Structure 1
């Protein structure tokens, strides 16, 4: 599995941002207050988070352009959660305006990377997110936009995720496999992919989007998942928590 090339990733970011803003534009005030697919979160919480992560990634690139790094969120996880809670109850128009401004800011920062000799940082410039580089930040924003668009529950479910995005999730979410386990992911009609290095092997088969949704902790939308071990049907294995890129502040 390989990540998209920088120019392809840039195109995916624009595509994902357009899908999110188009979806948000259709929401009325009562829609924003309705539950999302995430337990305990309304659609307003999801929109506030999308605004926050877009601004956070923009700031990563803006500091990288000066040869500096900065924490992803002021106040770490606690600061992130507080900001989401404060903004979640905004009306639809405020959410739409804030999200559009944040995405415009983030995309403008990534767009400076497209042209040789631009004033922006390179794709390999260091950022603080996961101790990585700008390219890692681009992949992170891609994940956030695509997955949380599905969490809004407005028709962009996991069944709409591309093969390339699903294969990226297989790679990124491989740390969720417990140390004792090895998962053989068998997307229907596609080559198998092994993740994890433990001695207990389980085959997880189904549509590629259902497998990716399950790995991401989302409800598979096509109902195709099956798990087997030694040719016998078994329950899907328990996964470890999602790998967090935000240090917790004590």
Structure 2
């Protein structure tokens, strides 16, 4: 069962870490490439700000984005702003999201996200936490997957393996970390089973597309190719 209050606390902590990191950037640093292909750090920061507003919209029963084109245009337009403008937007949009989350609401209700995806309102804070943690890593400012909170790592592994579960394009796969925890994902073809072993961080890195999986031990076939997130 999702504990939205707990996750909102995690969002606050991750936001403060991100704001501290963004506060160290100058205009030249913001304009440098991030770890996401084709995106500068400015693109990542603009995306995080607009994502905060978008998830606030979701909590209020509004469309997440006006359209995919509007989403992309807002990120592109915001990418070239100064470091000070990025920091202000990041802080203020984060505050707006937390304000939306503080409004009285039924957290068991179903909400609609981007592309018609539905989920429980109680999972929205976790989704924001995911954005903050992984995109902090994408900024390439010294925050690495190894710096992620241990709770976040295991929960995001569970979230992503559930997301790919039943996908016929992904072989049936069992993941095991060094503490013996296991997760299952994929869905086809019948009779095939790939096993993937490694540290929790490396498993997460592969699942979320931030590592190539070369450090993982794979048996039963090649390391599966995963759909883009």
Structure 2 residue runs without a partner (length 5+): none
Q: Which shows bigger deviation, 44-53 or 158-167? A: 158-167
Q: CA deviation at 1:96?
A: 0.3
Q: Which residue, out of 167, 183, 197, partners 1:205?
A: 197
- The answer as to whether partners of 2:4 and 2:123 remain within 8 angstroms in 1 is no
Name the structure 2 match of 1:35: 33
Name the structure 2 match of 1:14: 12
- The answer as to whether partners of 1:211 and 1:220 remain within 8 angstroms in 2 is no
- The answer as to whether partners of 1:60 and 1:72 remain within 8 angstroms in 2 is yes
Q: CA deviation at 1:163?
A: 3.1
1:137 aligns with 2:127: no
TM-score, length basis structure 1: 0.81
CA–CA separation in structure 1 for the residues paired with 2:15 and 2:212: 23
TM-score, length basis structure 2: 0.88
Q: CA deviation at 1:10?
A: 1.7
Structure 1 residue runs without a partner (length 5+): 64-68, 113-118, 243-250
Name the structure 2 match of 1:217: 209
Name the structure 1 match of 2:51: 53
CA–CA separation in structure 2 for the residues paired with 1:12 and 1:224: 29
- The answer as to whether partners of 2:43 and 2:76 remain within 8 angstroms in 1 is yes
Name the SS of the counterpart of 1:97 in structure 2.
helix
1:172 aligns with 2:159: yes
Q: CA deviation at 1:6?
A: 2.4
Answer 1 or 2: higher relative contact order, Cα 8 Å, separation at least 6.
1
1:121 aligns with 2:108: no
Q: Which residue, out of 91, 108, 116, partners 2:99?
A: 108
1:183 aligns with 2:167: no
Name the SS of the counterpart of 1:227 in structure 2.
strand
Inter-CA distance 184–208: structure 2 relative to 1 (3 Å threshold): same
Name the SS of the counterpart of 1:46 in structure 2.
helix
- The answer as to whether partners of 1:176 and 1:241 remain within 8 angstroms in 2 is no
- Structural mapping, 1:153-164, within 5 Å: 153-164=140-151
Inter-CA distance 210–79: structure 2 relative to 1 (3 Å threshold): same
Q: What does the per-residue CA deviation read over 1:130-186, in whole Å, with 9 as the maximum and x for residues that have no partner?
A: 323321221211111111011001121111223322222223223336415111111
CA–CA separation in structure 2 for the residues paired with 1:157 and 1:25: 18
Q: CA deviation at 1:100?
A: 0.4
Q: CA deviation at 1:220?
A: 6.3
RMSD across aligned positions (CA): 2.0
Name the structure 2 match of 1:241: 228
CA–CA separation in structure 1 for the residues paired with 2:180 and 2:5: 25
